[in-house]
Amino acid sequence: MSIVEALSEGMRKMETDVTDLEEFRKEVRAWLAANLKRRRYSGPQAARTETKTPEEIAESRALQRKLFDAGYAGISFPKEYGGRGLSAAHERVFREESAGYVMPDFGAAGAVTFSAIARSMLAHASPSFLRRHMPKILSGEEIWCQFYSEPAAGSDLAGIRTRATRDGDRWILNGSKIWSTGAYYADFAMCLARTDWDVPKHRGLTWFAVSTKAEGLTIRPIVQIDGEAGFCQEFLDDVVVSSDEVIGEVNQGWAVAQTMLVYERGAGQAGPVVLEPRTLAPDLVALARKVGRSNDPVVRQSIARAHINDYAQYHLGKRIAARLRASDQPQPAVAAYGKLASGTFSPIRARIAVEIGGPEALLWHPDDKRGMRYAVNYLNGRMTSIAAGTNEMQRNGIGERVLGLPREPSFDSNRPFSEVIANARNWDGRVS
């Protein structure tokens, strides 16, 4: 059974286990109103990977625990692993209802933990592994991050060079990882390493669970262009991992990665979590008013453009979600539309703010941290066009997997990885 089949069977199975959704919605609504704080629409949330303080993390852990205790963490996860055992539809209802509330915020690492990581584990890890880790994940006790990208493997996700060598019933890991969101406060990492170098690149990869406290592991925050340090770089120097902590099959890591990708792109969520933007770009309107340009027809055009793009993006998201719900199979390439939309329009929107504000957006008093928000948004405007799959990779995916266009010539998919590395520098474009 392929991963895609396994996933869709899982989704169908859960969908069939239907209790009264409307009843559930009422229950959720009441609980949320009684227990959580509301939030309001104030323009789209700019992508940003902020440094989290230990206090913020502790607060989010407590909030997550509250959800877990009330039965709202892992709503569609099996009961034996700490979930509630309800359907994906219930999960969706909760997401819709909770969209207006303040939820636990572990930064980008949180999204990764609860969507991509937890769900990929569910699909691939052994029952004993899941019993050991999943309840702690759902209750906020174990925050996870990914050790995936490497300095020499970004868009080329399978070009991993971190090496895992078997040593009896344990593995020794060596190499370097980068862009690990929130690694500095995570408890565990899901780490991808190469376990066979003499086969094509997709066929020699394996995932490991690595404690962030492991000996030989150095985690170093990366100072970002906005001065934050939400990402980390890691150096693995003879890090030892027990064979129990392999996730999925040895050398079958690419299958796990594919599952992860599906959930990262939102196929596992199947519903937008943002609010419908019905207020004309409030952040831009406020800025235009502040600089006295709200009657400038050219500025008004820009504000309208930004809001229209927000509105179109929101409804694209809803449309994608509906299509994914209607489908029997996860469709990562369909979800790629949402990613590409965000990667296309976020930089434009950030730029519009800077253009409207002029000096007001570019300069601020040193003691006015809010004054720098337009500049910070601007610097992070390309976050969604690069992180977790560049616009270019989304276009390839849409082009080949949705539109059915013929493939790009591939020079590295059929050769041993060791050979690909050796040949790349001499690449001359000539095909014999």
Partner 1 sequence: MDSDATDDQKVLLDASVRFMQQVCPLTRVRERAYSNITYAAEYRRQAGELGWFSMLVPEDLGGGNVSGNGVLDAALVAYKRGATLQPGPFTGTNVVAHALSTAGSKEQRQKVLPALMSGEASASWAISPPAGHPAMEDGVSAEFRGGACVLSGCKTFVQDVDESCWLLVTARSNAGVSQFLVPPGTPAVRVVALDSLDISRQFSEVHFEGAQLPASALVGMEGKAFDLVAHQSAIAAVLTAAESVGAMDHEFEMTLRYAKDRIAFGRPIGSFQAIKHLLADMSLMLEMSKAITLAAARSLGSDDGYGLEAASMAKAFVGDAGVDLAQNCFQIFGGIGFTWEHDQHLYLRRLTTDAALYGDPAWHRERLCQLSKL
- Binds 143, which of a copy of itself, partner 1, none (CB < 5 to 8 A, cut-off by type)? none
Tell me if 292 contacts a copy of itself by CB under 8 A: no
The listed partner (partner 1, a copy of itself, none) that binds 430, CB under 5 to 8 Å by sort, is: a copy of itself
Q: If 0-12 CB within 10 Å is exposed, 13-18 middle and 19+ buried, where does residue 368 land?
A: exposed
Write the binding mask 300 to 329 for a copy of itself: x where contact by CB under 8 A, - elsewhere. Answer: -x----------------------------
Closest approach of partner 1 to the CB of residue 44, in Å? 15
Rounded-to-integer distance, Cα 248 and Cα 258, Å = 12
When binding is defined by CB under 8 A, the residue of 413, 419, 422, 423 that contacts a copy of itself is 413
Of 97, 228, 245, 264, which is the active-site residue? Answer: 264
Interior/surface letters 14-42, b for 16+ CB within 10 angstroms, e for the rest: beeeeeeeeebeebbeebbeeebeeeebe
Count of CB atoms within 10 A of residue 246's CB? 20
Among partner 1, a copy of itself, none, residue 127 binds (CB under 5-8 Å by kind):
none
**Interface stretch with a copy of itself, choices 22-30, 45-53, 282-290, 407-415 (CB under 8 A):** 407-415
Determine contact, residues 121/132, Cβ cutoff 8 Å: no
Indicate whether 403 belongs to the interface with a copy of itself (CB under 8 A). Answer: no
Judged on CB neighbours under 10 Å (0-12, 13-18, 19+), 325 is middle
Residue 67 to residue 75: CA distance in whole angstroms: 10
Q: Any contact of residue 168 with a copy of itself (CB under 8 A)?
A: no
Q: What string marks each residue from 353 to 392 as x (binds a copy of itself by CB under 8 A) or -?
A: ----------------------------------------
Candidates 297, 359, 366, 404: give the one binding a copy of itself (CB under 8 A).
Answer: 297
Residue number, 123 or 356, with CB nearest to a copy of itself: 356
| Paired strand residues for 163 | 174, 194
From the number of C-beta atoms within 10 Å of its C-beta (0-12, 13-18, 19+), residue 359 rates as exposed
| Nearest distance in Å: CB 196, a copy of itself | 21
Q: Are 262 and 332 in contact (CB under 8 A)?
A: yes
Tell me, yes or no, if 264 is annotated catalytic.
yes
* Dihedral over alpha carbons 369, 372, 374, 378 (to 10 degrees): -120
Q: Using CB distances below 5 to 8 A depending on partner kind, what does residue 423 bind out of a copy of itself, partner 1, none?
A: partner 1
Distance CA 421, CA 351 (A): 39
Contacts to a copy of itself by CB under 8 A: 296-298, 301, 406-411, 413-414, 427-432
Active-site residue numbers? 264
